[in-house]
Every structure is written in structure tokens, then in C-alpha cells.
Structure 1
């Protein structure tokens, strides 16, 4: 080893020690931030308590409503598609079924044979328009048929389509309408005694009669009722202004609308009005007016408005949580990326086997910490439905071997043995999302290690056939001799933030996210996962994932020495590094120097633009998140401003310390040509530089 190489190694080691010291300070800062996070969590708990109160309030309103209320699933992905997902007490009472019975039924089960086709078309209309009011018939458990009016609204809750229908028995109204057509005197007698308000107009839409119940509803006297209807209720109706001169456009149909009025005691009242055309004279086609039934829907409206408000609050809370997770992950990732970057550079220096082993162990530990951070981000993505499965070529045996080796420092070798077995006939080259399969294994093997203090842990991977000859199911089984799980507790462990509480398990800590994420991942990869309690002691975790077979023979070649990653560059590149973190600047400069390229530094986008005014560069490495001017806006100015026309075609590679859903799309939309996550892998950067610069040269 030359003196120069020795000095370089010592300098690198000194830098690592400096970075470790910096990391300790950062961790102290993070501890304080975690204390702040605990305060935020307390606030979140308060929010949850408030949400529970609101939910209980909704449930009370839901069950105290005078009308029957149904909630029906319209989500085709849901196993309960088309079935009732909730009903109130009035619905159960009016139909004669228990709540449990109704939750196993669909609206079609309650429909008469004549109404089934019409109800299906109404459901399609509801999906298309978002709300609908219609009349139909429902069959009681004892066989009797009741006509009802349903006011339905489509809702989206937790990403699932639902509709809420508020059903009112309209038997009395239909009888009233029939009686009205038979006898005006009988109609007047009935109208004066019903709870709903009944009023009529003449052919010019001038109110003529208002039932006495209008006073009970609004507190407005009979002589002022007509003026209130003219000024507040009729103007909100769907009747066109030229109805009095043109033929009535709603002949044979009921017309529904809602209005908001103020009572004499200054209360806000929501009312619903349902209008029908009055019978015409036998010897004339002249429009004679409308008859209207108006009722109080304040309770129903309050429920709908509160549901909408709750939906908006939940969305805002979800957005705030995602932003918080992204920011926190960036704060933790930045110093860790510095450590991993320096460790990566150390592997390029002259090291003996022992030093290389230590650096490899430190790198593995750092990557494990990043994996935990990724778990938190993945949960956020899964919750938002934005986690994507990205199949790629990978080598199964190498991936498993590397994973098992990463747990060496976690296993007490004197008391616990960790080993793996892979069936020989499983091809080594497969196509699937290697990152997600490794994440599944990391969580399940990590759990086994956490709860096993003595004995052994075995990872077995077998092959199961599928109908598709180009695919197989990989079955992974993790068997441990740990403390096991209580009887009946396996399924609970897959719930969010859940850990089985026993006296023996209180000493084990965790987030309660891992197994839930595992289940979500295997479901998206066409598989299943389950936990079983072993007969004697310990636990067996079994999962399956679908993978594609590639036309290659199985192999398990092993190369213990680090593979060379640097080659002589095709030409020396002049690169502009736009990065605000000092440690990342050092790492990028060192990597580019190792690759044989020159580099210039800019600590923010504004400095980068100033440098581009008077200098030319072959490639720009652009950090996304920076003070003063961030990477996205800087790229937009370079690509769109005439001031930087000469720099417009310089390839720009985005660098980011975290990867939330949509980050890559935002970078590409701004005009960036590539995307790399920190810590920057030397191989990946070298390949990206070659690809972008060769493409550029071919286009010149």
C-alpha cells in the first residue's frame, strides 16, 4: 500500500469518525424532535377522541332520525358490493328485520319483481349523477309491500363508493293524492290534518291554498304563508320561468327540490318539496297548477352535511400526516445518507478483509434504519392507495443470502441459529418486485429474531405451481422457537399498530406496522400471509407471492470480493452539483472524481442559475429540496427561460433524500432527464451519466 493510499484511507476514516460524531449530534436533535413529535401525537390522539365524539354524535343522529336510513356499498372491489353496509333502527323496525339480517342483504332482496329492473337503472343513475330521489316499493319480512320515497346521495369514504338512502314511507301521500283526485272536499279535510305541508297553485303558479301544518312547521301565519312560498320556496324550484305560457314540462312526473328558510324564531329550516301537476279539466288541456307536499328534512340535511365535513376533515388530516412523514423522513435520511455515502467511498480505498467486513456491517445497519423509515412511508402510501409494485429481474439466492447476512449482528450466535433453505428446482433468475419481497422477508425474519432468545430460526422457500406456466408462487416459511403467540391472537397481529400484550412480551418493542404492511404487500403481489402457533413453542409465518419465470438456469454463484464498479469514462465530463448539504457535496464530488469527472458546486438553485449564465456544463446533478430556490423551480427556469437557452439541453439528474408518491413524476414534468434517490449508488450514477451523455452526443 502506498503512502498516498494509506493517507487517503486515514483521511476517509477520519471523515467517517467525524460523520459519526455529527450523526450523534443529529440523533440528539432528533430525540428532541421526537419529543415534539410526541406532543403532535398527543394532539392527534385528541383529534381521534374528537373524531370518536363526532362519530358517536353521527350514530345518535343516525338512529334518532324519523326516516329509515340505508348505506349501500357501490365499490366493486369490496366483497360486500351492492349490499347494505349500515342501517338505522327505523329501517329495521319498518322492515321487520334485525340489523344483522339486513347487513347480509342487498336492496334487490327487498324489491318487488316489478321494481328490480327500475332499481338497477336508478343505481346506475346515482353512480353517474351523484344523487337521486325516486319512489319504489319495499317488501316487509312478513311479505307486505310498502311504497317509499328514497333520497339518495353518493359518498366516498376511505376510498370506497357508497350511497346513503333516506327512505320515507309514502303510503299516506299516495292515498292522499288518490283521495284528492276523487274529491276536493275530502282532499281539503285530509290536507288540513297531515303532518306534511300541502299547498297548491293556479295555472300561473300563484299559491292558492296552504295547509295549516305550515304554521306548525315555520310559525308563519296563514295570511303570510303564501308570500313566503312565492319569495323563498318557488324561486328555488326547477320550474322554468316561462311555465305559465308554455306547456308544463313535467307532465306525469313528480318534481323534487330543496329549500332553506328561516322560521319566526330565527331557526334555519331545510325543507323538501315534491310537486305534481293538478288534474286537468275534462274538456280542456289547459295547465291548472300544481299540488306540493313540503316536509322538514333538517335532520337528514344535518347528517349529510356532517358526513361531508367529516370527509373533508379526514382528508385534511391525511394530507397533514403525509407531509409530516415526508419531512421527518428527510430529516433522518439526510445524515444517514451522508454516512452511507462515505462508507461507500471507503469501499473504494485499500482495505483489508477485516476492515471491509466492518464497513459492510455498518452499511447494512444503516440500510436497515432506512428500511424502517421506508416502512413508515410505505404505510402512508398504502393508506393512500399509491404504493406501486414494480417488477424487475433479480437473483433469488443472492437476495436471500444478503438478507440473512444482514441479520448476523442481530442474532446471538451462541444461543440462536439462523439458516435458510431454497428448493433446488427454483430458478435463480426471476422477475418480480425484489424490493417488496425483501421487505416482506425482512419484516418476518426480523420478527422471528426479535422474539427468539434461544433455539433456531429457519427460512424455507419452496415453489408452488400456478395455472400460468410462465409464473410460479414462491412460498416462504419462517419457523422459529421463540415465545410464540397466544391462542387466537395471530389475526389480531395483522391489524394496524397492534401488538399482543402478555407479561413475557412487554419487553419487546415495535411500531405495530410491519405485519400490516406485509399483508398489504403480499395481497398486491397475488399472495397470502398467515401466522400459526407451533405445537410446542414458537411461531410459523407463511407467505406466498407470484413471480415470473425467466428462461435461465438456476445458479448460486458467489463472489465474496467486491465487484469493480468504476470504469474509465468515455470522456471527462464537466458537472454542476446543485446541493445544499455539505456532506452530500463532499460525497458527490468524491464519486465524480473517482469516475474521472470535474465538478463545480452550487448550494442552491439561485447560485446554479448564476453559474449557468457564464459557464457550460455537460451534466447537472440537481437536489430537489433546497432553500432559496428548489430543484423543481430551478429546472423549470432552465428549460423554459430564454435567458438559459444555451443550457436548455444540458441533461439534469434529480437527487432526492426521500421518495414519496409522485416525486419522480414531478421531477420529469419539470423537465429533468433522470432521477436518483440518495444515498447515490456509484454504479447507478455512472450508468445514468453514460446513458444521458451518450444520448446527447447521438442527438447532436
Structure 2
């Protein structure tokens, strides 16, 4: 065919069929080159597709440097779209070419641009370094236009196919990843049994080395369980009853024996054939070995924590006795001292000492029984007390402890406050001591004021100081346990940061509250409000010591100071007292002498009070009243006392009036 010959229709059909069979871009360009080799000389062919307004993208090119290029539509392309084709003798001067990234990598001369309109879109063919002598005659023919349209359409379809393939490959890769993840982490699998509960099949994602198939198929559950599972007779009896009744079951857990035993959870539903006969079970199973191991670890930690708690409780029980015993003696001696003739100054000092020991006892009780505070089971005593005396005693104590010429401490108590109110005196004293003591701690010089008023049936205590104040960012810390806002400015011992936290918790349990107004550098004001109830006259009257027949009382107590105290109490009530230093000595005295009552300390050397009381009941066959004396009045300790036959439990430190009331029902034994 000569250079000026047109492409015939039969040739066109042949080439179109050939293009339809091309598998990739290379095949298409190779076929196009063979078709045009005697019609058009060119170096490269670039096929563009319009992808947005005035921009084209390369969809195919004989030269790889043109791939991934974006082409703007400027004068050259616009002219090609208008005329159908255009020849540029200086393509590097055209904006379309000048803006290419690869322009410095190619040598361009005469370039022919042909526009293509197709149902697939609008495109351009660019032939570079063409021979210009005959290009117009060939490319203006109708058959050649049709052929280029088919080439363009072929490239468009290949691009779409390539994108679709990439998308499919991406989806396949995604599902492969998920499948692999499920294979590695998935623990669920399906199972089916026959009417005899033998496993017929196991469907699991594993196709090779499926341990579930190997272990279960052809076997029953009972034949696979571990020896420890076989001991759970009740569990398996109930399960077999469910199977016999052909009922659904869910999350039935058991351990399977294997090279490495594992746990499974089974759920199943009964299946029936077309005639309605039971055909077996179909269900879902899950490997729960990891969760069981975690459960076992948690159980071990729980047991360890329980052991630690028992050890703590034992420690607290011992420490409670050891610490409270001397406090008992101090409080008792002060009570005896108050009953003697004292000068006004001595009376005031003893009142201070008495109030301090009450507060100290409360603090020790809180520290030793902190578990009760944390659980909100702190007990409170409701009885009449002198609110003015309590306030004055605390003020007096702090004046002595915190005495400073740089601080003026004043107190104002509303005259309308009744003399006696009902409540817990030492808890309230503890709170006031903490708050006022805190004011002294953070005030180097200036003034501290305590104001006590009545408002809306509430007792209001305002503690105002001219100290350093507290920054807003630290307000949340002030009532937190073991927190110190600024340790560096404490005037004296910083403590452990429990005072305000304990005070806040105690107030909330008593139905009150504590609030704070403060500004850094300008002082603070703590306001304590607590429900108020005036004591009736009958409540204020102390019990008059009624005359009671003299009793012969055996007191078993190892602490010498407490011996002196309890003996003084009892003799004041006109009773005869015999002292024993420990349980064995008490038993020997009991054998030799007749007594009306035994007061028995629980913790003593050689023989403790519980053992001694048990001996009196079981060996000496005596029903004499035995009262326990203990510094630890927890529920378990009281139960231990009653278990060995004791009649009553008296808690140290015991007050004179409480002892008198406890003895009121005891009479001489003839």
C-alpha cells in the first residue's frame, strides 16, 4: 500500500479484530506501529484521556517517561479539538509540553496531535518526531479516524480493567489479612453430634492440623475431659440431664485432656430429622483457655490478698490491745483524778488532759481500724456533752501546744448555744482539733479565730486564719488523704496528711459538711456545720451511784497500771477485789476462794482469758458470771468470748459509769 493510499474497510475490520485480541498496552502499540509503518513515521505515541475540565492524563505511551503525566489544555490542544488534528513544528514552545515534568528527558521536534471523540470519553493522540511530508493525507481519512477511536477505546478499557483489578487485589489482600487474623486469633468453631452425642464433624478455619477435629470427631465429651473434671460429679449429672431432656444449653465449660490441656465453652441446640426424631446436637464452641488462665491468676491474687488481709487483721488486733491498754490506764487515772479535790488551775489542766486523751484514743482507733473508715462503718456515740466546755478545752490545749507571741488566738461562742447538746463528743473534738491545728500549722504570724454559732438547727464552727492561704489549683488536694499542699512552709511536724481527710469523712457520716474559703497569701476560713440537737434535762443528769451489795470480784489483768485502775473503780463501788496476773493464776485463785464475778482480760501471758474462761466452764463446771475485758471489741472477738461461755464483753478503756452499769445486774452468790 503506497504512502497516499487510504485504509480500506476490509483492512479496517481485520485490524479492529486484531486490536480486540490485544492483551496489554504493548500489544496495542506494536499492532498500531505495524499498521502505520508505511503511512506515518513517528518516534513515540502518547494517548491522553480528558479526566477533568481542561486537563488530560496519560493512559498509554510507548515511552515510559510520559506515564503519570498530567497535561493542561492550552492553545495547541484547543486547536486540535477544533480542527481534529494539528501539527506543531516546535512542540517545546507549546505550554502543554513546557509544563511536563519529563520535558528535560526527551528530545521533541514535529509533533502531531489528533483529537478523538468516543462514547468512552474525549482523548488525544500525540505522535512525536513525525515525518511531515504525508501525515495530513493519511490521518484525514475516515477509516484511520475509526481505527484510532478503537485504539483509544481499547486503552480506556484496559485502564478501567487495570483499576478494577487493583481494587479487587486490594479487597483480596484485605480479606486475606482478616482471614489470617481470624485464623490466628479466632477461637470459635462449629460442631455437630449424632443422637448418641458422638461428634460427627468439626468445622474450623484450620484445614491442616486441626486439633479440634483430631480430638473430638468420633468421641463423646465424657471421654475427653480431664481427671479433675471427672471429679465434678454434680456438674456432669446436670449436663447429662439436659442432654437426656434434649434441651438447649449455653456456655457449658469443661477442660479437655490433651498434650497441653485446654478449656472450651460449648453451646448447643438439639436437631431433629423430618420424622421428628432426635438426630443429635448442632452448636458453637469456643476456646476459653486464655480467659480461664486469667481467671485462675486473678483467683490466686485474690487468695493472696485475703491472706494479706488476715495478716493485717491479726496485726491490728494485737496492736489494738497493746496501744489501747496504756491509753485505758491514762484515761482511767484522769477520771479518778477528776473525782478528787483539785484547785481551779489543776481542774483546768486535768480537763485539758482528759480532752486530749479522748481525742488521742479516737485517733488511735481510726488508725488501727482504718478498714472500717474506708468501708464507711465507723460507729458514733450519741450522748449529751457540754459544747462550750469542749470548745474551751480544745482552745486551751492548742494555746498550750501552739503557744506563740506572733499569733493571737481568740474564740467567740454564741450565748444562745445550750450548755448540753447530743452527739459524739470525741469525734467532734477530733474534727475541731484537726482543723484548728491545721490553721496553726500554716499561720506564722497574725490571728486565728474560732466562732461558734447556731444557724438553721446547725452548729456552725468558723475557723479563720491570716495564714498563707491555698492556691485554687490545690483546692482539690486539701481534703485528699496523704496530701500536703506545700510541705516546705509547715511550721512544725507536717504529719501524714490525714487530718482534714478524716474530718471531712467523719462530718459526712454525721450528716454535716466542711467548706473552705481561701485566697493565696490572704488566709483561709474553714466552716464546719453539723446537725444540732439540744439535750433534755433528763439526759444531762448523770446516774447516781446506787448502793449495791458488796461483791467479791476476781480480776485477771496482766497490766499493772490497769490493775490499779480497775481495783480503784471497784473499791469505789464498795466491792472486794482479788487480782490475778494471768489466766492460770486466776484459775488457782478461783479454786481456793469463792467469787461473785470474774473480770477477765483476753490477752495475757502464760494463759489467755479465753482459755481460762473455757476451763472454768468446762473443767470446773461453774456458771459464775464472767465478763471479758478487751481493747479489741470487733465482732469476731466478741463472738470468741461468747463461744467459751463469757456473759458480757466490756471494751477498754472502760469508764467508771459504764462499769457501774455493767455490774448493776450482778448479785452475791450466797
CA distance in 2, matches of 1:630, 1:228: 60
Counterpart for residue 510 of structure 2: 525
Q: TM-score, normalised by structure 2?
A: 0.62
1:688 is matched with 662
Partner of 2:266: 273
The number of residue pairs the alignment matches comes to 481
Compared CA separation, residues 343 and 531, structure 1 to 2 (3 A): same
Would the alpha carbon gap of residues 385 and 602 (structure 1) be closer, same or farther in structure 2, given more than 3 Å must change?
same
RMSD: 3.9
TM-aligned CA distance change 1:301 to 1:203, over 3 Å: same
Q: Offset of 1:217 from its aligned partner?
A: 8.6
Match of residue 205 from structure 1? 197
Where does 1:2-401 land on structure 2 (aligned, <5 Å)? Answer: 196-213=188-205, 219=211, 222=214, 225-227=217-219, 229-232=221-224, 240-241=239-240, 247-248=245-246, 250=247, 253-264=248-259, 266=260, 268-278=261-271, 280-282=272-274, 284-347=275-338, 352-353=343-344, 359-401=350-392
- Change in 2 beyond 3 A, CA 1:396/1:321: same
Partner of 1:31: none
**Does 2:624 correspond to 1:629?**
no
Question: Residues 337-486 of structure 1 correspond to what in structure 2 (within 5 A)?
Answer: 337-347=328-338, 352-353=343-344, 359-465=350-456, 472-486=457-471
Of 589, 601, 621, the match for 2:567: 589
- For structure 2, list consecutive stretches of 5 or more residues without a partner in the other structure: 1-182
- Counting only pairs closer than 5 Å after superposition, residues 672-683 of structure 1 correspond to structure 2 as 672-683=646-657
Bigger-Rg structure (1/2):
2
In the alignment, is the contact (CA less than 8 A) between 1:330 and 1:658 conserved in 2?
A: yes
Counterpart in the other structure of 1:19: none
Q: Tell me the SS of whatever aligns to 1:541.
A: strand
8 Å CA contact 1:197, 1:212 repeated in 2:
yes
Distance in 2, matches of 1:217 and 1:374, equals 65
> What is the distance in 1 between the residues matched to 2:208 and 2:524?
68
Pairing 1:529-568 to 2, within 5 Å after superposition: 529-534=514-519, 536-551=521-536
The two structures have a TM-score, normalised by structure 1, of 0.60
* Corresponding residue SS for 1:197: strand
Cross-structure match for 1:117: none
Where 1:394 maps in the other structure, the secondary structure is strand
The aligned residue for residue 618 of structure 2 is 641
Give 1:351 deviation, angstroms: 5.2
- Equivalent residue number for residue 600 of structure 1: 578
**8 Å Cα contact 1:436/1:521 also seen in 2:** yes
Q: Distance in 1 between matches of 2:332 and 2:653?
A: 6
Deviations 1:491-542 (A, max 9, x none): 2132222222353238542122222222221221222223331475222222
1:381 touches 1:661 (CA, 8 Å); kept in 2? no
Structure 1: give runs of 5+ residues left out of the alignment.
Answer: 1-190, 466-471, 558-562
User: Does the 8 Å CA contact 1:387/1:661 hold for their aligned counterparts?
Assistant: no
Deviations 1:653-688 (A, max 9, x none): 332234446555654565544444434433443443
Which of the numbers 484, 487, 493 marks the counterpart of 1:499?
484
Distance 1:649 1:430, change over 3 A: same
Deviations 1:28-84 (A, max 9, x none): xxxxxxxxxxxxxxxxxxxxxxxxxxxxxxxxxxxxxxxxxxxxxxxxxxxxxxxxx
Distance 1:663 1:247 in 2: 51
**2:147 aligned residue:** none
3-state DSSP of counterpart to 1:458 = strand
Q: Give the secondary-structure state (helix, strand or coil) at the position aligned to 1:493.
A: coil
1:202-258, Cα deviation, whole Å (9 max, x unpaired) = 1121221123557879746637743374512598767654677x552x1xx343211
Structure 2 CA distance for partners of 1:600 and 1:214, relative to 1, 3 Å:
farther
Residues 675/682 of structure 1: CA separation in 2 closer, same or farther (3 Å cut): same
CA shift in 2, pair 1:325/1:554, >3 Å:
closer
Change (3 A) 1:444 1:687: same
Cα distance change on mapping 1:677 and 1:511 into 2, 3 Å: farther
SS at match of 2:494: coil
Task: Tell me the secondary structure at the aligned position of residue 665 of structure 2.
Answer: helix
> CA 1:259–1:618 in 2, change beyond 3 Å: closer, same or farther?
same
